[in-house]
């Protein structure tokens, strides 16, 4: 991502000047500088148009953002992963500043909504990663629905991504008396990604116009562009006459990106997510009410209804998948299995982001490559992982947990002593470890 900046002109004089010539040149430079400042001031005070601020992502944006020192796996903390992916320099645009100030008036409210993303954001960010889309797009549901799958707008937009009925039908989201795919995490996220990709292609990679079209519709943005073209005016997002909501929508997203990127400066605490709270899928073999499932689990009916908001009658039917947090899945699966209510094993939604049987690890293959690696590139026998040190960890506890020697960890990471601190990333080679 980069922003269009002002061009700088450099002058180099490599001639020897006597004092008289020096005086003449200095006088010309002074006149030239004054003229430049005058012209710049005229441009700055031109009527109603903000300076062009354009965010651009290459088609391989996600491929260019990881590095060995800051990479944090999605399974460990998706918000930290997103933070490490952001390389935008959000400008001090007046409209962005106004939205940021509005958001920061209630920092606790912002933190609460951000934390609400925890069950869903793992899948969303991983799907964005798989499709080479900016991780910041996971902030769209933050604005659209406050990460509430049950949210419905006055225009009948529904779900995390707030699809209106006509767009939902266009992108294959089923709506019936029993199931509304707009409220389903898996279906709605995949359709939202398709919509964003299509819009971005149609607007030649301009993400500001893409987001404006996501909010207002492609047709409205096209008309605004054509209107400006007919008048010989700029056609960038900041110059368009769009609906009031859309005029606030894009600056708000940019403001949130800035808040996330500079969360410490603004005193905002990003969610410390736990993979055990992310959703996994259990395939159900027959119709069953969520109320009955609640009796088999430690989850309330309200919680099950929120995670499975697509089932508008609170009964699991087609597509017959149940979403529950990882931490509750195994016990619930066993109880449902005894009643012959399950069809398959538990399916983790981040299937191509390996973490073996430990939810807080990721393969060092990610670290060693700047490209996003697809599932097919991984060996099923891969045993080298990277571990993000958490508060309270020690080399002793880490070594004990992975059944390796402390001396091995020291050797694999070129450590001179056993001191580690929160945020350190350690390589652990399980394949070559000496058993304890």
Residue from 99, 136, 144, 348 carrying the catalytic annotation: 144
Inter-CA distances, 362 with 60, 139, 165, 356, 397, Å = 22, 23, 39, 9, 18
CA dihedral 99, 105, 109, 113 (to 10 degrees): 20
Considering the domain delimited by 61-261, tell me its CATH architecture.
Orthogonal Bundle (1.10)
Give 316-329 pLDDT, tens digit per residue. 998 899 999 999 99
Q: Where is average pLDDT lowest: 13-22, 211-220, 241-250?
A: 13-22
313-342 b/e with 16+ CB inside 10 Å = b? ebbbeebebbbbbbebbeebbeebeeeebb
- pLDDT of 369 > 90? The answer is no
Tell if the pTM clears 0.75, that is, is over it. no
CA angle 203, 207, 213 (to 5 degrees): 65
Considering the domain delimited by 362-429, tell me its CATH architecture.
Roll (3.10)
Q: Percentage of residues in the chain with pLDDT exceeding 90?
A: 58
Return the structure tokens found at 100: 């940021």
- Enter the DSSP assignment of 379: -
First-to-last alpha carbon distance for the chain, in angstroms, is 47
Give 265-293 pLDDT, tens digit per residue. 999 999 999 999 999 999 999 999 999 99
Do residues 355 and 325 touch, judged by C-beta distance below 8 A?
A: no
Catalytic, 144? Answer yes
Which residue matches tokens 């062009």? 52
E runs forming strands in 139-278 = none
């Amino acid at each position: 991502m980069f922003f269009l900046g002002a061009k700088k002109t450099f002058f180099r004089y490599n001639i020897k000047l006597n004092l008289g010539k020096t005086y003449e040149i200095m006088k010309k430079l002074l006149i030239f500088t004054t003229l430049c400042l005058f012209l710049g001031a005229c441009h700055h005070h031109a009527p109603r148009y903000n300076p062009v601020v354009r965010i651009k992502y290459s088609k391989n944006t996600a491929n260019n953002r990881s590095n060995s020192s800051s990479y944090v796996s999605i399974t460990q903390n998706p918000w930290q992963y997103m933070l490490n992916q952001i390389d935008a320099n959000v400008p001090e645009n007046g409209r962005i500043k106004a939205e940021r100030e509005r958001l920061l008036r209630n920092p606790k409210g912002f933190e609460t909504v951000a934390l609400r993303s925890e069950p869903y954001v793992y899948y969303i960010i991983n799907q964005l990663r798989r499709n080479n889309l900016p991780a910041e797009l996971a902030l769209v549901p933050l604005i659209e629905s406050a990460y509430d799958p049950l949210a419905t707008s006055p225009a009948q937009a529904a779900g995390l991504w707030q699809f209106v009925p006509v767009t939902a039908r266009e992108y294959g989201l089923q709506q019936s008396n029993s199931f509304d795919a707009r409220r389903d995490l898996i279906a709605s996220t995949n359709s939202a990604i398709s919509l964003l990709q299509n819009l971005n292609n149609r607007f030649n990679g301009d993400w500001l116009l893409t987001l404006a079209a996501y909010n207002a519709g492609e047709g409205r943005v096209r008309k605004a562009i054509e209107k400006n073209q007919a008048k010989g005016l700029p056609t960038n997002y900041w110059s368009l006459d769009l609906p009031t909501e859309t005029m606030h929508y894009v600056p708000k997203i940019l403001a949130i990106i800035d808040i996330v990127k500079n969360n410490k400066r603004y005193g905002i605490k990003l969610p410390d997510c736990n993979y055990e709270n992310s959703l996994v899928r259990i395939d159900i073999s027959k119709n069953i009410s969520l109320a009955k499932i609640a009796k088999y689990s430690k989850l309330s009916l309200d919680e099950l209804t929120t995670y499975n908001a697509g089932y508008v009658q609170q009964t699991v039917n087609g597509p017959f998948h149940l979403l529950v947090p990882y931490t509750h899945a195994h016990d619930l699966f066993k109880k449902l299995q005894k009643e012959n209510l399950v069809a398959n094993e538990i399916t983790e939604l981040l299937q191509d982001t390996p973490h073996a049987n430990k939810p807080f690890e990721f393969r060092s293959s990610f670290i060693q490559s700047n490209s996003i690696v697809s599932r097919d590139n991984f060996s099923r026998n891969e045993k080298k992982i990277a571990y993000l040190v958490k508060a309270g960890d020690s080399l002793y506890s880490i070594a004990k947990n992975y059944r390796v020697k402390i001396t091995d960890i020291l050797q694999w990471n070129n450590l001179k002593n056993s001191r580690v601190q929160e945020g350190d990333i350690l390589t652990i080679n399980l394949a070559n470890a000496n058993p304890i």
